[in-house]
Amino acid sequence: MNRLHKPRCQVDASWATNQSTFGGGLILEMEDGSTFSGSLGSRQVPSPLHAEFRTLLWAMSYAVRMSYNKMHFESYCLQMVKLIEEEELWPSLASEWDEFSHLRSLYMFVSLSCSSRLKFSG
Task: List the pLDDT tens digit at each of the 122 positions of the chain.
Answer: 444 578 999 999 999 999 999 999 999 999 898 999 999 999 999 999 999 999 999 999 999 999 999 999 999 999 999 999 988 778 889 899 999 999 999 999 999 999 875 454 44
CB 60 within 8 A of CB 103: yes
90, 70, 94, 63: which is closest to 79 by C-alpha?
90
Measured over the CA atoms of residue 47, residue 51, residue 53 and residue 54, the dihedral's sign is positive
CATH number at residue 101: 3.30.420.10
> Which residues form the domain of 12?
3-119
Per the structure, the count of domains in the chain is 1
**The residue type at 55:** T
Please state the pTM of the whole predicted model: 0.88
In this structure, the strands spanning 35-43 and 109-114 are unpaired
